[in-house]
Amino acid sequence: MATTAGGRKLGRVMPTGRVLAIIVPFIVLLVVGGGTWYLYGALNPPPKQQPIAFPHPVHVETLQLDCQFCHRGAAIGPAATVPAVEQCMFCHKVAVTDRPEVQKLRAAWEKKEPIDWLRVYRMPDTVRFVHEAHIQAGFDCAVCHGNVGQQQVVQHARDLRMGDCVTCHRVNEAPTDCTTCHY
């Protein structure tokens, strides 16, 4: 009986075991890789393009401004707060008025419009994070926010999920009762 090359049974060419040996690693790679990619994305959200390209390095590193010079709420309340346009104009009425980004600021000031800064750090709605308590306890802003003076565009510097918070609270003997943050 003559057998052509194409007449061979598939099972002969690719035994089930070998098929699995090829496919399974692919699936595992897909799942592990996809999971890692997803987690990496979740932990490192892409930097947000702010309406005005505000350079933290110039203000923090070069000018040596204190964080709380602009983020005035940090030591006295729950929210650190983003400065009002008026706060920026405190200096920029006279300082570097020729830069295009500063002129955007001046335009907003003249139109009496707020600038819609995009929020980079936001806790879930069930969390009541209070800046004041952490600043009063003597923590530097950089503990959670990283070295903002090196970030041209502000990005997440730390995990800041509940495990991260609780670990730090345990180490520093801060309260870990649920109602410390959740209410």
Partner 1 sequence: MPKWGMLVDLDRCSGCRACVAACQIENNVPINTEEIVNQRRGIQWIRIERYWEGTEYPAAKVRNGAMLCQHCRNAPCEPVCPVYATYHNSEGLNTQIYNRCIGTRYCANNDPYNVRFFNYWEPQWPESYYHYLNPDVTVRSKGVMEKCTFCVQRIRRTERQAKREGRALKDGDVQPACVQACPTDALVFGDISDTGSRVSRLAQDKRHFRVLESLGTDPVVFYLKKVDPQHVGDAAKQPAAH
CB of 123 to partner 1, least distance (A): 11
Q: Find the part of the chain contacting partner 1 (CB under 8 A) among 8-16, 32-40, 84-92, 129-137.
A: 129-137
**Binding pattern for the stretch 42-81 against partner 1, x by CB under 8 A and - elsewhere:** ----------------------------------x-x---
**Contact in structure between 41 and 155 (CB atoms under 8 Å):** no
Contacts of 3 (CB under 8 A, 6+ apart): none
CB of 180 to partner 1, least distance (A): 8
Whole-angstrom distance, CA of residue 121 vs CA of residue 81: 11
Q: Which parts of the chain fold into alpha helices (H)?
A: 10-13, 16-43, 56-57, 67-70, 85-92, 100-110, 131-136, 142-145, 162-171
- Contact between 126 and partner 1 by CB under 8 A: the answer reads yes
Q: How many residues does the chain have?
A: 183
Judged by CB under 8 A, the residue of 130, 161, 170, 172 near partner 1 is: 130
| Residues of the shown chain interacting with partner 1 in the complex, contacts defined by CB under 8 A | 76, 78, 124-126, 128, 130, 132-133, 136, 177-180, 182-183
